[in-house]
Structure 1
Amino acid sequence: MSVAGWRAGVVIAALMAAGNAARAASHPLVTDILPSGVPLPVPAPTFVLPPDDAGTELLGDAWGARPWLDRHGVRLTAQDVEELWGLTGGGLNRGATYDGMTAMALLLDTNAAFGWHDGAFNISALQIRGRSFTDERLGALNPVSGYDAGRSTRLFEVWYGQGFFGDRLDIRVGSLDLDTEFLVSQNASFFLNASFGWPLSTSSNLYSGGPSWPYSALGTRVKWSPLSALVLMGAVTDDNPTGGPFYSSDGDTQRDASGTRFSLGNGALFVGEAQYWLDLARNLSGKDAPALPGTWKIGGLFDSGAFPDPRYDARGGLLADPDSSGDPREHRGNWMTYVVIDQMIWREKVGSDKTINVFVRATASNATRNRFTREVQAGFTFDELLPGRPDDTFGIAWGVGLYGRRAAQAARDAARFGTATGAPPRPEHHIELTYQAAVTHWLNLQPDVQYFWGVGGGATDGDTGRPIRNAVVTGLNMTTTF
């Protein structure tokens, strides 16, 4: 399938009527492998996975290979992303940077393959290339793109999924990426900035950023649909995909360049989420009003691993003290809670795809273990509103990450002892304006503009010794489905 119209994902599909919900949950969408920049169909109880259509892929039916594979239960997909980013003002170093990614995924439907009902085997791999624009030119906490990651050619996910009780219950076991199902906002995922996918409060507060793109971790995910409008999900995975220490001079991809380390040496990550579908128009105006569907979610995570204190060392002194051992005090266990709201707020008429949608996501984390204890993102997406461009989407979104009390105190300690310079950390805000044009059924172009203030949380430019200036970033994303 093309990227356009695809990534409702298991999150939306699981909110449908029981039969459709679980089948969509068992068979991931093609675009579940993409971390950002994916347009989403609106939440609705009648959503079903679109049928396979060779016209939405560059290679079509691949000279008859795709229909033959499909008859045997095999679906092989490939996607390519090319991005170019430019710093036009502020930041660290003006100029342009390229990054790119090619992904391949194979899905085996066990019913079509050998008569085993309601089962699916999935394996995927990534080839990530280019340089980090955020690290080298911008200096921000939030990467400008989900594809701004360490270069590697790596295994991504390997899992087996099985449905039970008419697919009302769905279980996956294997090496899992949790950010396609948990903590995700369907509308936020349209934007390119990485924080609108897997947010700063997880990517910075967990080991290796947790089981999120481009990493996965060994574990189990359970999804249950007791009612057509309600989904309950839970997962238990290893909490450290690359197996390294919390603080390390080595990059995550250096520790596990191939994605085959399968670490089990730290702690366990427990995640739970409840999702509820509702029709706001019917609730407010009656059954004859144009449907305004939405999904409302509440969830949380607990990590049983050991986490370093941002301020105190192992002897109870201040880490900023020149006499400190430099070894942080360790705390056992860590937690975070979150809410996510995706809601359509306007529709042209009954059945129309011309819509306006809003999203809000907020997180709260333990203050004694984490650098970032609160985070908020919000924004609007506008679907099919431009004349003559029925498949295009544009949107505007904002996000902010707030330092915890101990992290701010540690910075003030460092300034008092003279072991570091600069002002105490402050919130980093970013706003993104993006437009996605469906050039063909298999090619999307997405020009993008982002503005950052409080860049790096008030970090200083190593060349000037002054705080990094507010930055203007422009970019272009090209996504091709083969």
Structure 2
Amino acid sequence: MRCTYRALGAGLISCVVSGHSLAATYPLDTDVLPSGVPLQFPSATVETPPLDWSDTLLGDVWGVRKWMNHYGLRLNIQDAEELWGVASGGRKQGASYDGATAISLTFDPTRLTGLKYGLFNISALQLRGRSATTDNIGAINPVSGYDSPRTTRLFELWYGQGFLGNRLDVRVGAMDLDTEFLVSQNASLFLNGSFGWPIAPSSNLYSGGPSWPYSTPGVRFRYNPIYPLTFMAAVSDDNPTGGPFFKPDDSPPGDLSGTHFNTSNGALIIFETQLLVDAGMLLNHSHHALPGTWKIGGFYDTASFPDPRYASNHLPLTAPGASASPLYHTGNWMLYGVFDQTFWRLEKDSPKAASFFIRVTGNDDIRNTLTLGTEAGLTFHGLIPARPDDVLGLAWGTAFYGHRARMAEQDSLRYTGQADSRTQAEQHLELTWQAPVTPYMMVQPDFQYFWNINSGSPDSETGHRIPNAAILGLNVTTTF
């Protein structure tokens, strides 16, 4: 199935489906990957995953996959292996390993029941290895999206149904919202975890919110009134592990199985509007396809959140007589914008192209420590001769502390004579090269540089500020 596009004017594009309506939102195989996602060449076409399995290591498995597809079943297995080495700086130099195996199974009931536009999805994860970020770097931003607690867990479990000729798609079940919301397609190329689910919501929400590798029960709506425009909204639980906001460092991370389906904390209500744009038409270069996706959105969380400066008796947290617990405020919110845009293409059918992404998040300083986050980067397709499918990327990201968090530092200096944190913005730069070795194997060498690590706070073990760190990495992702 292919979706071709025609001009609507003002740089907007409309989708014309050949043969039949778009199927109920079909999850891509890469939806279970948090980072280092294979980045396709920028195109205004929409395609379902291939059914010939030529881009998988095991192929048709002696006809098993063809037989499963006859009954509406589709199985996908992906494995990611990573090596990380801190070349200089950080908490200590050295190498570490992490890895993940993801298995997903979908069932389209059309073949057996005749029910159109329905889809059942279940997936699981096996996570292993050590945390290079915690052990060797000491940073706030995880060096990898796979830098997660070791476990074997249920990932997602949901049913989706299309209505109104499939212009409205509804999902119900346990979902990871960062596969659809707050996502930058170009940013997903990079390995640093903050280019997936940003560091601001990861730090400001309970358990980091419903983001990889966690899911929460909820319902998601996706509506296409016209195909350049998409409205999305979801309501889900806000605390995937069910733990407290402040978790002791030596305590377990909560629900590691993914089967507890916590609903006791608060509700996260998130919305997003997406617009497809062809910049080539805006620039009067209609023979050059320069596709882009512009998104604006936000969320509201109904739970209670701690004040970064004041205790429950309204004194500064470090002041004499302050209560041990912080002051809690009901509700929390965040707004965001995500812009993916191809801005250069050698010619219409050339494999050479360049794109950029910008993502900005913002929230208040009364309930949040980090109040402004931003990531930006460039991706280049086909710049290396004889390697048209390779992608080079350069990106930077950071998040800034709010006024109350900075004043809390001044309170600490005033009442205790020392600061718990210097509240400087930790920043990271990443240079990456994604190189397909075979249709089913992707090799991605990576370089990252961190400065103002852990906001300039002293290391808990040495008492000294953590030096800026240079990190080398290698990701190998295989699709079975």
Normalising by structure 2, we get a TM-score of 0.94
Secondary structure at the residue paired with 2:283? helix
Cα displacement string for residues 300-344 of structure 1 (whole angstroms, at most 9, x for unaligned residues)? 000010001011011101111243222011100000000010000
Q: In the superposition, relative to structure 1, how do residues 119 and 67 fare at CA in structure 2: closer, same or farther (>3 Å)?
A: same
Distance 2:445 2:54 in 1: 24
Single out whichever of 144-153 and 48-57 deviates more from structure 2: 48-57
**1:45-194 correspondence runs (5 A):** 45-194=44-193
Secondary structure at the residue paired with 2:330? strand
Distance 1:259 1:274 in 2: 29
Secondary structure at the residue paired with 2:149? coil
Q: Quick check: 1:144–1:194 contact (8 Å CA) kept in 2?
A: yes
Distance 1:474 1:329 in 2: 41
Distance 1:126 1:233 in 2: 26
Cα displacement string for residues 427-456 of structure 1 (whole angstroms, at most 9, x for unaligned residues)? 111000000110111111110000011111
Higher helix share: 1
Secondary structure at the residue paired with 2:166? coil
Q: Which residue pairs with 1:232 in the alignment?
A: 231
Q: Quick check: 2:160–2:170 contact (8 Å CA) kept in 1?
A: yes
Cα displacement string for residues 124-157 of structure 1 (whole angstroms, at most 9, x for unaligned residues)? 0000011111011101110000000001110000
* Partner amino acid, structure 2, of 1:403: Y
Distance 2:417 2:109 in 1: 60
Q: Are 1:40 and 2:39 matched, yes or no?
A: yes
Q: Which residue pairs with 2:9 in the alignment?
A: none
Q: Which residue pairs with 2:410 in the alignment?
A: 412
Cα displacement string for residues 444-478 of structure 1 (whole angstroms, at most 9, x for unaligned residues)? 11100000111111111234422111110110001
Q: Which residue pairs with 1:400 in the alignment?
A: 398
Q: Quick check: 1:43–1:295 contact (8 Å CA) kept in 2?
A: no
Q: Which residue pairs with 1:320 in the alignment?
A: 318
Secondary structure at the residue paired with 1:389? coil
Q: Give the deviation of 1:114 after TM superposition.
A: 2.5
Q: Quick check: 1:87–1:137 contact (8 Å CA) kept in 2?
A: yes
* Partner amino acid, structure 1, of 2:101: T
Secondary structure at the residue paired with 1:373? strand
Q: Quick check: 1:22–1:163 contact (8 Å CA) kept in 2?
A: no
Distance 1:423 1:228 in 2: 48
Secondary structure at the residue paired with 1:358? strand
Flag as ranges the 4+ runs of structure 1 deviating above 3 A.
14-25, 42-45, 250-254, 419-423
**1:281-430 correspondence runs (5 A):** 281-287=280-286, 289-418=287-416, 420-421=418-419, 424-430=422-428
Distance 2:427 2:24 in 1: 34
Q: Quick check: 2:160–2:172 contact (8 Å CA) kept in 1?
A: yes
Distance 1:21 1:141 in 2: 47
Q: In the superposition, relative to structure 1, how do residues 389 and 277 fare at CA in structure 2: closer, same or farther (>3 Å)?
A: same
Distance 1:254 1:463 in 2: 22
Q: Which residue pairs with 1:455 in the alignment?
A: 453
Number of positions where the alignment pairs a residue of Structure 1 with one of Structure 2: 468
Q: In the superposition, relative to structure 1, how do residues 25 and 32 fare at CA in structure 2: closer, same or farther (>3 Å)?
A: farther
Normalising by structure 1, we get a TM-score of 0.94
Q: Give the deviation of 1:167 after TM superposition.
A: 1.0
Q: Quick check: 2:29–2:49 contact (8 Å CA) kept in 1?
A: no
* Partner amino acid, structure 1, of 2:213: P
Q: Give the deviation of 1:52 after TM superposition.
A: 1.8
Q: Which residue pairs with 1:481 in the alignment?
A: 479
* Partner amino acid, structure 2, of 1:152: T
Q: Quick check: 2:26–2:48 contact (8 Å CA) kept in 1?
A: no
Secondary structure at the residue paired with 2:438? coil
Q: Are 1:432 and 2:430 matched, yes or no?
A: yes
Identity of aligned residues (%): 52
Q: Quick check: 1:207–1:239 contact (8 Å CA) kept in 2?
A: yes
Cα displacement string for residues 16-55 of structure 1 (whole angstroms, at most 9, x for unaligned residues)? 4478998465210011000000132355443222432322
In structure 2, stretches of 5+ residues that fail to align are: 1-12
Single out whichever of 220-229 and 245-254 deviates more from structure 2: 245-254
Single out whichever of 293-302 and 346-355 deviates more from structure 2: 346-355
Q: Which residue pairs with 1:242 in the alignment?
A: 241
Q: Give the deviation of 1:353 after TM superposition.
A: 2.9
Q: In the superposition, relative to structure 1, how do residues 221 and 239 fare at CA in structure 2: closer, same or farther (>3 Å)?
A: same
Q: Quick check: 1:242–1:253 contact (8 Å CA) kept in 2?
A: no
Q: Quick check: 1:15–1:21 contact (8 Å CA) kept in 2?
A: no
* Partner amino acid, structure 2, of 1:334: N
Secondary structure at the residue paired with 1:104? strand
Distance 1:150 1:411 in 2: 30
* Partner amino acid, structure 1, of 2:93: R
Distance 1:45 1:27 in 2: 17
Q: Quick check: 2:290–2:341 contact (8 Å CA) kept in 1?
A: yes
* Partner amino acid, structure 2, of 1:163: G
Distance 1:18 1:156 in 2: 32
Q: Quick check: 1:15–1:231 contact (8 Å CA) kept in 2?
A: no
In structure 1, stretches of 5+ residues that fail to align are: 1-13
Distance 2:464 2:435 in 1: 39
Q: Quick check: 1:208–1:241 contact (8 Å CA) kept in 2?
A: yes
